[in-house]
A and B are shown apart, each in its own frame.
Chain A
Amino acid sequence: MSDTVIQIKNLKKVFGEREVLTDINFDVHKGEVVCIIGSSGSGKSTLLRCINLLETPTSGQILYHNQNILESKQASHQYCAKVGMVFQQFNLFNNLTVLENCVIGPVSVLKKPRNEAVETAMHYLEQVGMAQFVNAKPKQLSGGQKQRVAIARALAMEPDALLFDEPTSALDPEMVGEVLKVMKNLAEAGLTMLVVTHEMAFARDVANRIVFMDKGIILEDDTPEEIFNNPKNERTKAFLSRAMG
């Protein structure tokens, strides 16, 4: 395998008395698409939020290109700019237009000149098919459109890796397709992606690796073929038989 982008070591997260993540170990390599699946409450989203430092892990290490980003504030800020996130609820900046949503990060965080940032933003907005909506405000867009803008916003930061937290769960069925299509294209373009999803078909077709989580631990971490055709764990079998109908 080529070099590791993100490496998780002995990660643990406790909310009050409840242990949500127990000793998580796995890594994401460059250009890889890793899907995290599992039932609700299994800790998938918490894991992703820990990786993006939206939650502070209770213990353990998160290595980004072999540097522990939990050690210094400086390192964690640079890391956040380099590892993007796409949310279930889109979280577009409501006070900004579509274009400004994609420009604000590169300008204020990466200190890019404005005209250059606009150019990059337009480039990615075009690729997600939202270029004609640059003047629109988030409230004027449909869910699928918002999510595509959110993906463009994350891409405009030219990230090393993108995290997706159930990006299609808040969309109605008709809009799921347009967002998955964009994500599939990204995967084909070689972007490193870590996706928490309930879209089993997407996981099977697009992922290089699938991680199955249950009750805060990783039960299986294997290729889609192995997971879907030859699951080793009873829990995985039960989940898949229900999820695939």
Chain B
Amino acid sequence: MLEFINQVLKIWKEYAPALWDGTITTLTIAIIGTLVGLGIGLVIGIYKTIPISPKDNIIKRVSYKIVDFILSAYIEIIRSTPMMVQAMLFYYGIAMVFNIQLNILLSGLIIVSVNTGAYMSEIVRGGIISIDHGQYEAAHSIGMTHTQTMSKIVLPQAIRNIMPSIGNEFIINIKDSCVLSVIGVTELFYVSKYAAGATFHYFETFSITLIYYFVLCFTITKILRYLEKRMDGPDSYTIMGSQTAPEAVIHVNTANHGKGE
């Protein structure tokens, strides 16, 4: 046991800088991938919930359908194939077709973003359609346009509601970015494999890796939970000013409406 701990510490001392670099790469991919993915998801989710009525003109309806089909194809293809395969196909495909060697980290970022975007689209769509229809009706009743309703009323509520799912995607991205090691992205898993191969101490090395991943994910879960709490605002409210009773006499803008009789 003592020997195991000594070995772990020895490897950790030697490879700490490399593991740190790997952690930073993993985090970068997870953060940027989740944010860009969320951006893609918002655009698609919002697009998919645009109300189209049979009374709109034919060009609008047909072009909507075409774009909608492309977006659905994107979502289904990405969700139904492994990210590892997508990574191989994308990285080596670009190299073959365009005869350019894309930066490996950039490739990794694109793959994770596009992948996350497909899942986020469905998460955002779910968030939007879960908002009570009464919110739309109330917005309509004060004359708000669809764009105003979405940006000021529906999306703020939808995004708050999907925060746990966004957090989930973020955590998944931290862990799943390890599949990018197949194209040589030097993230945490890649570095660990290198260290293990060099020392022949696989068990010890990956024990360290495990702790790294756990600390990363656990800390981020806590941070996200805190952010959610902050978004909700205070649980209580302050009472302002005097206590006016509802019995007070009401004065409406009588310029518009005098008594009818």
Question: Interface on A for B, CB 8 Å cutoff?
Answer: 1-2, 29-32, 52-54, 56, 77-78, 80-82, 84-85, 87, 89-97, 104-105, 108-109, 126-129, 131-137, 140, 148, 150, 153-155, 157-158, 160-161, 178, 181-182, 185-186, 188-192, 208
A8 to chain B, nearest CB (A): 17
A residues in contact with B135, CB < 8 Å: 91, 93-94
Q: Does B256 contact A (CB under 8 A)?
A: yes
Which chain B residue shows the least CB distance to A106? B142
Query: Is B141's CB under 8 angstroms from A191's CB?
Result: no
Give Cα A192 to B137, complex, Å.
21
CB distance from B240 to the nearest CB of A (A): 5
Q: How far is the CB of A95 from chain B (nearest CB, A)?
A: 4
Q: What string of 1s and 0s marks CB contacts (under 8 Å) between B227-261 and chain A?
A: 00000010011111111111111111110111111
- Chain A neighbourhood of B142, CB < 8 A: 80-81, 84, 104-105, 109, 153-154, 157
Between A and B, 18 residue pairs with Cβ closer than 8 Å are A31-B261, A32-B260, A52-B141, A54-B137, A54-B141, A77-B143, A77-B145, A80-B143, A81-B143, A87-B134, A89-B134, A90-B134, A93-B139, A108-B152, A109-B148, A126-B248, A131-B241, A192-B260
Q: Does B65 contact A (CB under 8 A)?
A: no
Q: How far is the CA of A126 from the CA of B156 in the complex (A)?
A: 28
8 Å CB contact of A30 from B244, B247, B253, B260: B260
The digit string for B144-163, where 1 denotes a CB below 8 A from any CB of A, is 11001000110011001000
- Whole-angstrom CA separation of A78 from B142 in the bound complex: 10
Among B156, B244, B246, chain A packs the most CB atoms within 10 A around the CB of B246
For B238, B246, B250, B261, the residue with the greatest tally of chain A CB atoms inside 10 Å of its CB is B250
Interface flag for B138 (CB, 8 Å): yes
Count how many chain B residues have C-beta atoms less than 8 Å from C-beta atoms of the other chain: 45
Query: B140 interface residue, CB < 8 Å from A?
Result: yes
Q: Are A181 and B260 in contact (CB under 8 A)?
A: no
**Cross-chain contact B257 with A190 (CB below 8 angstroms):** yes
A127–B248 touching, CB < 8 Å: yes
In the complex, are the beta carbons of A135 and B238 less than 8 A apart? yes
Smallest CB separation, B220 vs chain A (Å): 25
B237 CB contact (under 8 Å) in A94, A133, A181: A133
Please give the distance in Å from A27's CB to the nearest CB on chain B: 12
Which residues on the B side are within 8 Å of A178 (C-beta)? Answer: 246
Specify which of A81, A97, A129 is in contact with B248 (CB 8 Å cutoff): A129
Among residues of B, the one whose C-beta sits closest to the C-beta of A92 is: B138
Smallest distance from the beta carbon of B230 to chain A beta carbons, Å? 14
Min CB gap B67→A, angstroms: 22
Q: Which residue of A lies closest to B253 (CB)?
A: A158
A131 to B56 alpha-carbon distance, docked (Å): 43
- Beta-carbon contact of A129 and B153 below 8 Å: no
In the assembled complex, which residues on chain A have CB atoms less than 8 Å from the CB atom of B237? Answer: 97, 133, 135-137, 140
Specify the chain B residue showing the minimal Cβ separation from A101: B138
CA distance A5 to B190 in the complex (A): 73
Q: Mark B107-140, 1 if CB is under 8 A from A, else 0.
A: 0000000000000000000000000101101111
Distance of A25 from chain B, by nearest CB (Å): 19
Query: A2 touching B250 by the CB < 8 A rule?
Result: no
Q: Mask for B23-62, Cβ within 8 A of A = 1, else 0?
A: 0000000000000000000000000000000010000000
What separation, in Å, do the CA atoms of A89 and B137 have in the docked complex?
Answer: 11
| Chain B residues within 8 Å of A128, by CB | 246, 250
CB of B260 to closest CB in A, whole Å:
3
